A and B are shown apart, each in its own frame.
Chain A
Amino acid sequence: MMVVTVGSAIVALEAKEIIYGAIGFAGSLFGVAALFFLLDAPYVAVFQIAVYIGAVAVLILFTVMLVREEKWAKEPPATSLATIAGALTGLAITVALVVAAFDTNLNQYTTISNSATFVDIGQLISTGDAPVLLVLALVLAASVVGALTLSRADREEPGR
């Protein structure tokens, strides 16, 4: 599953045609959802599939279809210096994170077999985190209004 996730993520960034990149991105999201299942978090996995694959991936596909240009596939790739710099930065951060993870005292904790259930998550969301939920709803509403305003403002000023 890790191979699927990481491989699709690489395809998403490196595919010549951006539409294949979008499909690779959806595959990567699906891989992450499967990893959530394996981590005993089915609720999060289903949420991931519904929101990311159901909404975000489809939205991205439609946007790619709207804005795709043939010339992108023919454009020269980034300079080798930029590629090397990017690869080095990514590698350095990965190594730093792995070292940091091994440096913690995580192995001293006892793990338990039963994981958090729907009820635990629901209780947390509806009690302690209720203000967060309300703010998040406002943020979502604001983002939808913002996105609509962006496309409307453009329509009112054609040919700019």
Chain B
Amino acid sequence: MLFGIGVYGLVTKRNALRLLFAVEIIINAANLNLVAFGQYLPFEGSSQTLLPNAFGQTFVLFSIALAAAEAAVILAIVVVAYRLHRDVDVSKLKSLEG
């Protein structure tokens, strides 16, 4: 559901900040999935014992850190775009168009 909301935002919004919200919501949905399925899928140890699966949680930790880095870069780009154009509407930012 969160993923669906994120995709909806990504399709309909044109404000760069709202697009960032949408992307982060999608990332959060994916993280939630990873943790949930990680809890549901224990893996078998050497002596047929079921061990808890930490892969999902570890992956999510990396993913959160990566998403934070991505957000920092996007926000820097938004601030620069605003300084140059006084607007952050992605349909109006056409400086890089060929």
Residues of B near A12 (CB, < 8 A) are 9, 18, 21, 25
Whether the Cβ atoms of A56 and B84 lie closer than 8 Å is: no
B68 within 8 A of A: yes
Known A90-B4, A94-B1; contact A125-B88, beta-carbon cutoff 8 A:
no
Whether the Cβ atoms of B82 and A9 lie closer than 8 Å is: no
Whether the Cβ atoms of A10 and B5 lie closer than 8 Å is: yes
Please name the residue on chain B nearest to A149 by beta carbon. B76
Whether the Cβ atoms of A43 and B57 lie closer than 8 Å is: yes
Interface of B is mostly: helix
Whether the Cβ atoms of B53 and A94 lie closer than 8 Å is: no
A85-125: CB near B (< 8 Å → 1, else 0) gives 11101110110010000000010011110111100110111
Please name the residue on chain B nearest to A104 by beta carbon. B37
Whether the Cβ atoms of A56 and B71 lie closer than 8 Å is: yes
Interface of A is mostly: helix
Distance (Å) between the CB of B62 and the closest chain A CB? Answer: 6
Distance (Å) between the CB of A160 and the closest chain B CB? Answer: 6
Whether the Cβ atoms of B82 and A82 lie closer than 8 Å is: no
A/B pair count, beta carbons within 8 Å: 209
Residues of B near A97 (CB, < 8 A) are 3-4
Binding site for B on A (CB under 8 A): 2, 5-6, 9-10, 12-13, 18, 21-22, 25, 28-29, 32, 35-36, 39-41, 43-44, 47-48, 51-52, 55-56, 59-60, 63-64, 66-67, 69, 72, 78, 82-83, 85-87, 89-91, 93-94, 97, 106, 109-112, 114-117, 120-121, 123-125, 129, 132-133, 136, 139-140, 143-144, 146-148, 150-151, 153-154, 160
Pick 26 A–B contacts, CB within 8 A, sort by A. Answer: A9-B5, A12-B9, A12-B18, A25-B25, A28-B2, A36-B32, A39-B36, A41-B57, A41-B60, A44-B60, A44-B61, A47-B61, A51-B65, A56-B71, A60-B21, A67-B78, A69-B86, A78-B12, A86-B7, A86-B10, A106-B41, A109-B41, A112-B50, A115-B52, A136-B62, A139-B69
